[in-house]
């Protein structure tokens, strides 16, 4: 096909394409909303005038410089100060606590989600799994529909519960115990991982799982021995993604009173030690970066082994 014919064909396809009134209307509403948010004076009123905000920004930028460097201008003097935060002021302990909260929570949620996945995936929880009829019983069909709906509803309910609210409620029940934050993170993430995992299973179009079902294998065996090996790398991406989110959330939840990075950040903010607060925030970022590098290394190893 010549370039002229390609251009002509593209123009014909543009004329033949359907027009979505809903999409265009949504775009118009979005534009109107953006314009209104920029022009509505009620959204921009503040009890602090512009001069005071500028002064606050200047003070903040000045105070985030490490205290010894702020006085002398020598950045090498910040190293003993940083070492004191990490070791003497329990920064390393708070970082390990944050890492432990996130890791324990994601292990719990990933395990629970993994166990429920075969019942939440619509192409498995059916009397015709993967399009292969194994039973024509109406009772069997109704049973699998009920199991699938309950599983998906459970995932929907748990991911709709905010971690911070769950953490607050569990702390009021269990007291200042790290397990309250672990459970808050795990309950929320089991719904997210369950939804993402079930979509991976439903979008699996490979033939191996169908061969398992066709030869009389159960849904659990098909899921465990055919689907998981083929989709594990993609699942791992989501697990590490939610682990990174758990690290950030456990930092925030630490402000409820558990001695994680969030607790020390909140304490530094209360004392207006913005330099210390930034150092602790960067510690949390380093944990996430190291976790992402570890995730990349594992996925690379898996791709090499599959090749």
Is residue 236 within 8 Å of residue 305, measured between CB atoms? no
Domain boundaries, the chain: 89-306
The fold of 89-306 is MetI-like fold (1.10.3720)
Q: What is the mean pLDDT of each run of 10 residues along the chain (307 residues)?
A: 67 68 86 80 66 83 84 82 83 88 93 92 86 80 91 94 89 87 93 92 84 86 88 87 88 80 86 88 87 82 65
pLDDT at 304: 62
pLDDT at 284: 86
Is residue 235 within 8 Å of residue 109, measured between CB atoms? no
Is residue 187 within 8 Å of residue 158, measured between CB atoms? yes
pTM (2 d.p.)? 0.78
């Amino acid at each position: 096909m010549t370039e002229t014919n390609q251009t002509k064909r593209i123009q014909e396809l543009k004329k033949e394409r359907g027009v979505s009134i809903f999409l265009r209307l949504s775009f118009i509403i979005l534009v109107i909303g953006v314009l209104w948010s920029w022009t509505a004076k009620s959204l921009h009123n503040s009890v602090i005038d512009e001069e005071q905000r500028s002064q606050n920004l200047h003070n903040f930028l000045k105070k985030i410089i490490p205290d010894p460097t702020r006085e002398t201008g020598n950045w090498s003097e910040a190293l003993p100060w940083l070492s004191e935060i990490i070791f003497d002021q329990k920064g390393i302990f708070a970082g390990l606590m944050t890492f432990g909260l996130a890791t324990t929570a994601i292990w719990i949620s990933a395990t629970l989600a993994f166990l429920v996945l075969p019942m939440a995936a619509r192409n498995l929880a059916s009397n015709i799994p993967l399009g292969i009829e194994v039973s024509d019983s109406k009772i069997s069909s109704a049973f699998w529909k009920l199991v699938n709906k309950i599983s998906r509803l459970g995932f929907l309910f748990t991911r709709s519960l905010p971690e911070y609210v769950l953490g607050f409620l569990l702390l009021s029940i269990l007291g200042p115990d790290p397990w309250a934050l672990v459970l808050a993170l795990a309950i929320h993430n089991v719904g997210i991982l369950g939804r993402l995992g079930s979509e991976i299973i439903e979008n699996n179009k490979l033939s191996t799982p169908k061969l398992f079902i066709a030869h009389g294998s159960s849904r659990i065996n098909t899921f465990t021995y055919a689907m998981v090996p083929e989709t594990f790398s993609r699942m791992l991406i989501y697990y590490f993604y939610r682990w990174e989110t758990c690290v950030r959330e456990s930092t925030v939840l630490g402000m409820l009173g558990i001695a994680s990075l969030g607790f020390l950040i909140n304490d530094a903010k209360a004392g207006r030690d913005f330099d210390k607060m930034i150092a602790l925030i960067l510690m949390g970022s380093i944990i996430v970066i190291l976790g992402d590098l570890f995730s990349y290394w594992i996925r690379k190893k898996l791709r090499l082994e599959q090749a």
